[in-house]
Structure 1
Amino acid sequence: MIFRISFLNIHFNTHFKSCFIKFCIIDEAEGRRILINSCILDDQQRGKLGGKVAIVTGSSKGIGAGIAKHLALAGASVVVNYASSKQDADRVVNDIVKEGGKAIAVQADVSKEADIQHLFAVAKSTYGRLDILVNNAGVYEFQSIENVTVEHYHKQFDLNVLGLILCCKEAVKYFEPAANGSIINITSVVSTAPTPQLSVYSASKAAVDAITKALSRELGPRRIRVNSIRPGPTVTEGTHAARLISTSFEEQIVAQTPLGRLGQPDDVARVVVFFASDDAEWVTGECLTVAGGWVN
């Protein structure tokens, strides 16, 4: 299948504010046109996180990259974490810098405590503070119960659960008192709608929901908010690599989604900006599903 991709930029003024909308137009060889809203940023959004510093784990591509870019466009200085994809992480940083933002790429395997400590130390030495942690790094594998191994379990739980806990542990050391720190955990709709052959992954994401609730109560008195986002099926490099896009799987998911499409990283990233900002200063312990109304 052949695609032609072009971009359409629209700027318009209203009585209240000036808005900029960027669309990505994809023309397929068969003639079907897809219009994707790739970025909506108004004047208010651009200043929401001015002066704040954010770490986004696993942000060299996919949802994490979208989150890093949106946080930067909202004014935050961003630490783009990667485990092995340095080239992809550098590309995200370059995209942010080209838009006038601030970002650095830092290698760290966030399933390892020493790497996590290094990640946070570099963030502090570079930007002098920390305000926002987005725990996005994660991994999933399809496997029938007959083929589940100890390695399969630990690969997912060590990163998706233990790594997330250790990142939260490190973050609270760096959040400044009375600075309204924000932790945002990226989980999944499978935490409440477990999927066949994803039993271990589903369990790991259910654990993240529980951690979010527990830490919101533990850290609330210290003015640290903890929330999570459950994305539905989203178009990323990972879902393409797993051959889930342009298949019967995608058709089934779209048919079960009232808003009639798969998610895009931007859909999740805009909600992250809300949770990270003062707009959500009275919101903690929430696990918000962002899935277009998808029902399994």
Structure 2
Amino acid sequence: MTDLTNQVAIVTGASRGIGRAITLLLAMQGVRVVALARGAEELDDVAQSGQILPLAATVTDEADAQQAVDIALQHFGRLDIVVCNAGVGSFNLLENIAATDWDQMFDVNVKGTFLLCKAAVPHFKAQKRGHIVGITSDVARRTFEHGTAYGASKYAQDALLGSLRKEVRPFGVKVSTIYPGLVDTYFNNSRPGSAEAEATHLRPADVAQAVRYVLEAPAHVVIDELMLHPLSQEW
């Protein structure tokens, strides 16, 4: 297995939910993490040690994405991992979806992934190694009522990551995509911890463990896609 100790990662959406769980688990494995999110106060709560460097920024801003990469290189001296986790969603009949909601989902879910990858890929190519992990959704592989906007954004994010995988593989760079089902988080204005969610949803820690799994795979092993089933909690 690949030893993650002293590797450096950027994790987006790191202040709560899945991103927080990924950040804390990676830090426990000895990874130094640039934890990126919009909420400075929540980020400070996540940054419990010198392993985690909080960065209040937005994934939809190209300068912020480049700054995250630059800070990782300047503060920690290297960059090995990028976890594109930040995501938003709202659900409605197509005719009731506000154009602003559509734009926000594509900005965060697709453009946010694009901008961070764009900033990190030249560095990964130059060093002939690196690992990009995208947290998409199982709805990137299926459709459902009220999911036109969110599903479209996740299909687009999945296509972006799949195409990028083919572009960077010749340079020794990995791209893995994780497709969680329902997760017990604050997503879509939910309140985590309900009895129903605990019985039927994945936990943020389950997704974090999946990220750890793909990152620790030996260098010659490429795990392109990993689907997480919300009911069995098996992956």
Q: TM-score under structure 2 normalisation?
A: 0.90
Change (3 A) 1:192 1:176: closer
What SS does structure 1 have at the residue aligned with 2:161?
helix
Q: Distance in 2 between matches of 1:205 and 1:93?
A: 29
State how 1:232-251 maps to structure 2 within 5 Å: 232-238=181-187, 241-242=189-190, 246=194, 250=196
Q: Quote the Cα distance in structure 1 between the aligned partners of 2:206 and 2:30.
A: 18
Matching of residues 44-63 of structure 1 within 5 Å: 48-63=3-18
Q: From the two aligned structures, give the one with the greater helix fraction.
A: 2
Q: What is the CA–CA distance in structure 1 between the aligned matches of 2:152 and 2:96, rounded to whole Å? A: 16
C-alpha distance after superposition, 1:106-162 (max 9, x if no partner): 011111111111222111111111000000011101222111232121111011101
Kindly tell me the number of residue pairs found equivalent between the two proteins. Answer: 232
RMSD after superposition:
2.3
Amino acid corresponding to residue 26 of structure 2 in structure 1: L
Structure 1 counterpart of 2:41, which letter? Q
Tell me if 1:82 matches 2:37.
yes
Give yes or no for contact 2:59–2:112 (8 Å, CA) kept in 1: yes
Task: Flag the 1:236–1:51 CA change in 2: closer, same or farther, 3 A.
Answer: same
Contact 2:88 2:187 in 1 (8 A): no
Cα distance 1:261–1:153, how it changes in 2: closer, same or farther (>3 A)? closer
Is the CA contact (8 Å cut-off) linking 1:129 and 1:175 kept in structure 2? Answer: no
Please, what TM-score do these two structures have when normalized by structure 1? 0.72
State the 1:50 CA deviation: 0.9
Q: Secondary structure at the match of 2:72?
A: helix
Quick one: distance in 1 between partners of 2:184 and 2:6? 31
Task: Note the 1:87-236 alignment, pairs <5 A.
Answer: 87-94=41-48, 97=49, 102-175=51-124, 177-236=126-185
**1:264 counterpart = 2:210:** no
Instruction: Tell me the SS of whatever aligns to 1:273.
Output: helix
Indicate conservation of the 8 Å contact 1:184/1:227, yes or no: yes
Instruction: Give the Cα–Cα distance (whole angstroms) in 1 for the partners of residues 96 and 191 of structure 2.
Output: 21
Q: Rate the CA distance shift 1:169–1:113 in 2: closer, same or farther, 3 A.
A: same
Rounded Cα–Cα distance in structure 2 between residues aligned with 1:244 and 1:127: 34
Q: Cα distance 1:52–1:268, how it changes in 2: closer, same or farther (>3 A)?
A: same
Which structure shows the bigger proportion of residues in strand conformation? 1
- Structure 2: gaps (5+ residues): none
* Cα drift, residue 280 of structure 1: 5.9
For the 8 Å contact 2:128–2:171, the answer to whether it is kept is: no
Maintained 8 Å contact 1:81/1:108:
yes
Q: Which has the higher contact order (CA 8 A, sep 6+)?
A: 2
**Aligned partners of 2:22 and 2:191: how far apart in 1?**
23
Distance 1:79 1:244, change over 3 A: closer
Identity across aligned pairs (percent)?
A: 36
Task: Give the Cα–Cα distance (whole angstroms) in 2 for the partners of residues 75 and 227 of structure 1.
Answer: 21
- The structure number with the bigger radius of gyration is 1
Q: Which moved more, 1:104-113 or 1:176-185?
A: 176-185
| Structure 1 counterpart SS, 2:227 | strand
In structure 2, the CA distance between the partners of 1:148 and 1:154, relative to structure 1 (3 Å rule), is same
